[in-house]
């Protein structure tokens, strides 16, 4: 199987983009892992597949696969890259798109230059829908990891996130604590883990250990979840610039029941073909 692809990234969170509308695509977890391998394949954090929508209201559907071959519900950086990809490949001429994902519908708006704004929808805070094991919804929760109790925020942006406040992201135990929380039994579908350092009410830094990937240079849904977790505790204002290792995202959220808006760049790296 020979596939045409585009390599793209959103703040260094990189993707193999596949057009499943003009070419036939049949992927297995093994083939996804091969494509994502940085030594034997193209190399990426996630593989995104563009498809025709099932929902008649949507313009497109896209599927998201982690580097380990697992399919996930949502990806904010991938959504921005998706918007540029379908325009650059001339699959649409629209500047506003309604896109179907496993996590629900997303509204994408292409702005000037390489910037894209994404309406990520309202965050999910009910534990059973995240999913997260807790009796009632709360602004924060205690989480026991190897006998040490950490305070986390639990939020779903179509995919589950745990958010911890830290004094410094430079010193945060992302690579040791991150995988332990990712597979914590209170998160039955595993979880993305964000380490958030607040600098002011509208500035923050963030590192994210992504479920099925490891630490990435940026995580769009992670930035949205971090903003929500901080705002629920009245630690930030309605709009926050979040600095990730790959660059900055602007996140806006006015409060419970309202959608989260994420704005940031999407960049083409190259186009190519791969034989699987």
**Mean pLDDT across the chain, nearest whole number?**
96
Q: Please check the confidence at residue 73 and state whether its pLDDT lies above 90.
A: no
- Could you say which of 44, 81, 219, 224 is catalytic? 219
Mean pLDDT of 200-228: 96
The domain in which residue 171 lies consists of 127-258
Is there a single domain that holds both residue 269 and residue 187? no
Q: Could you confirm whether 75 is annotated as catalytic?
A: yes
d(CA 258, CA 232): 13
Is there a single domain that holds both residue 252 and residue 271? no
The CATH number that applies at residue 105 is 3.10.310.10
Q: Give the CA distances from residue 62 to residues 48, 74, 175, in Å, rounded to whole numbers and listed in that order.
A: 7, 9, 30
113 pLDDT band, cuts 50/70/90, is confident
Is there a single domain that holds both residue 131 and residue 254? yes
According to the model, what pLDDT value does residue 74 have?
86
pTM of the model: 0.88
d(CA 78, CA 9): 8
Is there a single domain that holds both residue 91 and residue 197? no
Residue with tokens 């994420």: 262
DSSP track, 3-52 = EEEEEEEETTEEEEEEETTTS-----HHHHHHHH-TTTSS--SEEEEEE-
121-172 tens-digit pLDDT:
999 999 999 999 999 999 999 999 999 999 999 999 999 999 999 999 999 9
Q: Looking at the 3D structure of the chain, how many domains does it have?
A: 2
254 pLDDT band, cuts 50/70/90, is very high
Q: Could you confirm whether 219 is annotated as catalytic?
A: yes
Mean pLDDT of 216-221: 94
29-64 tens-digit pLDDT:
999 999 999 999 999 999 999 999 999 999 999 999
Is there a single domain that holds both residue 69 and residue 155? no
Is there a single domain that holds both residue 161 and residue 215? yes
Q: Please check the confidence at residue 104 and state whether its pLDDT lies above 90.
A: no
Is there a single domain that holds both residue 108 and residue 52? yes
- Could you say which of 44, 75, 81, 224 is catalytic? 75
Mean pLDDT of 234-263: 97
According to the model, what pLDDT value does residue 210 have?
95
Residue with tokens 């830290």: 166
Is there a single domain that holds both residue 109 and residue 9? yes
According to the model, what pLDDT value does residue 276 have?
86
């Amino acid at each position: 199987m020979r596939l045409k692809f585009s390599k793209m990234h959103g703040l260094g969170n990189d993707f193999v983009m596949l057009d499943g509308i003009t070419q036939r695509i049949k992927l297995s977890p093994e083939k996804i892992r091969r494509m994502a391998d940085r030594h034997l394949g193209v190399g990426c954090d996630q593989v995104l597949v563009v498809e025709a929508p099932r929902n008649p209201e949507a313009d497109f559907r896209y599927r998201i696969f982690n580097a380990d071959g697992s399919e996930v519900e949502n990806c904010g950086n991938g959504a921005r890259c998706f918007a540029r990809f379908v325009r650059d490949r001339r699959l649409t001429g629209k500047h506003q798109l309604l896109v179907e994902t496993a996590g629900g519908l997303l509204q994408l708006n292409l702005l000037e230059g390489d910037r894209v704004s994404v309406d990520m929808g309202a965050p999910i805070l009910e534990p059973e829908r995240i999913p997260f094991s807790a009796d009632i919804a709360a602004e924060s929760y205690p989480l026991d990891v190897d006998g040490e109790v950490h305070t986390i925020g639990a939020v779903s942006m179509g995919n589950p996130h745990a958010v911890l406040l830290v004094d410094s992201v430079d010193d945060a135990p992302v690579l040791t604590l991150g995988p332990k929380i990712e597979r914590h039994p209170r998160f039955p579908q595993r979880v993305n883990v964000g380490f958030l350092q607040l600098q002011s009410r509208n500035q923050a830094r963030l590192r994210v250990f992504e479920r099925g990937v490891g630490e990435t240079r940026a995580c769009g849904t992670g930035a949205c979840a971090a903003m929500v977790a901080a705002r629920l505790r009245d630690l930030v204002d309605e709009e926050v610039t979040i600095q990730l290792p790959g660059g900055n995202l602007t996140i806006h959220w006015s409060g419970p029941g309202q959608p989260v808006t994420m704005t940031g760049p999407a960049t083409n790296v190259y186009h190519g073909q791969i034989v699987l």
